[in-house]
Amino acid sequence: MLKKWHLILCAAIFLVPTLSWSMACHCYSQKNYDPNNPTSADPYLLATSQNSLVANVYNIAKKKIVIAKQKSSTTSERLWVAHWVAERTVFTPGKLLKARYRNNSWQEALATLQIDTQSFGSDFLQTLETLDVDTNLSQFVVDDVLLSNQIIAEKQLTVLRQMGSNDAETILSSLLALKTNQPASEFYNSVKFGGASWGSHLMSAQIDGTQMVEEIKGMLAHAPQQI
């Protein structure tokens, strides 16, 4: 009997590090543009652009964002909304994310915390009542962040969204446009329908995808007034 428990304990000791590593790992196999495999780094570049923009706009370490998103309940969409609402209330993003996890929708979560959403404007309120509220609220927040930080002009942003660009694609297209002074829609269109890659565009624009926090910080500091 003791021998049996000894074997179980040994197995557990070897298993725990493996489990811990697999749960904590939120990595990408390719982070640098490879001309022989042009799209291999694209998933990382889209993700790091989102995370780096959040880090810059809300003045938090990118590492904290990555750790937060390791929880299955913390999607990119919910993270955007939580930070946007936190900036306008007394609640932390963590508190808001917990409330969203415990409720069926953002509308219920905000009501539970007795947050007066009227102050967020009519567009927010209309979006709050839509069916796919996580995705739609996230799009509202991302668009608001891009416009308020003068990263993209409203007309260009509208075109991107009408083309079907999601949050990550919209962010990266906008950043490329800001850096190169080219229409954001051209980057999105060339990747989605022209066979180009995000990695190739970043390389051409001389943007280091592995240093996106600093890259975005520099772009935000020199962002021109959008029309």
Which residue ranges of the chain lie beneath pLDDT 70? 1-26, 225-227
Spell out the domain ranges in the chain: 71-132, 149-227
pLDDT of residue 60: 96
Residue with tokens 């260009």: 156
pTM equals 0.86
User: What's the sign of the alpha-carbon dihedral 99, 166, 117, 146?
Assistant: positive
Structure tokens at 73: 């309940």
Per-residue model confidence (pLDDT) at position 41: 97
Predicted confidence (pLDDT) per residue in 138-176, tens digit: 999 999 999 999 999 999 999 999 999 999 999 999 999
Predicted local confidence at residue 223, as pLDDT? 80
> What's the residue count for the chain?
227
Would you state the pLDDT for residue 222?
84
Please report the pLDDT score of residue 225 as a whole number: 56
Distance in angstroms (rounded) separating the CA atoms of residues 14 and 164: 46
